[in-house]
Chains A and B, each alone.
Chain A
């Protein structure tokens, strides 16, 4: 069964590895990719704990709403677990 997640709708300044256009959007986990040192910490040369990385699939309808030309097409994005909320 597909695991639904929502990308946290946060907009902090600085180096963030989650595309702004996906924040607040809901998708499904396509696969887990393993854990990697948090690049948002490494960008500032700080200690970086491992964070799980997921490939998340979003529909065009979810991202663009009524403006989506092909609503059922999807886009996959690789997003770290600390940016995701399970639904």
Chain B
């Protein structure tokens, strides 16, 4: 990054997980709605600093950058974001539970 030594380029590919595809789609949708642009995405990625490129995966950085832009655009507040994250976390530890809103007991929201 930034012309600094970084070792060889990893060239292995992997199938994208559903959550990664959704983040990609989310950026497109937010662009179409005028909430952010790919330029805003790049700006937020750059502002994360070098550590983020070691500690987060590609689409983890993307969703952090999308979130940064949407907060700045006033799409939702940090209070709303925190409340929603807490609500989803309560649904259960698996992705299936989190997205369906149906917890392991079968009832809504666990």
Contact = CB atoms under 8 A, between A and B. Distances in A.
A14 interface: yes
Which residue among A15, A21, A43 has the maximum number of chain B CB atoms within 10 Å of its CB? A43
Which residue among A20, A39, A42, A45 has the maximum number of chain B CB atoms within 10 Å of its CB? A45
Chain B at the A interface: mostly helix, strand, loop or mixed? Answer: helix
Contacts of B36: 45
Range of interface residues on A (Cβ < 8 Å):
10 to 19
B16 interface: no
B73 A21 contact: no
B86 to A, nearest CB: 28
Contact of A21 (B3, B42, B43, B72): B3
Contacts of A43: 37, 39-40, 42-43
A20 B72 CA distance: 27
B43 A15 contact: yes
A45 B72 contact: yes
Interface string A12-32: 001100001100000000000
A40 B73 CA distance: 16
Contacts, number: 27
Contacts of B72: 45
Nearest to A39: B39
Nearest to A17: B39
Nearest to A15: B43
Interface of A: 14-15, 20-21, 39-40, 42-45
Interface of B: 2-3, 36-37, 39-40, 42-43, 46, 69, 72-73
27 contacts: A14-B43, A15-B39, A15-B42, A15-B43, A15-B46, A20-B2, A20-B3, A21-B3, A39-B37, A39-B39, A40-B39, A42-B37, A42-B39, A42-B40, A43-B37, A43-B39, A43-B40, A43-B42, A43-B43, A44-B40, A44-B43, A45-B36, A45-B37, A45-B40, A45-B69, A45-B72, A45-B73
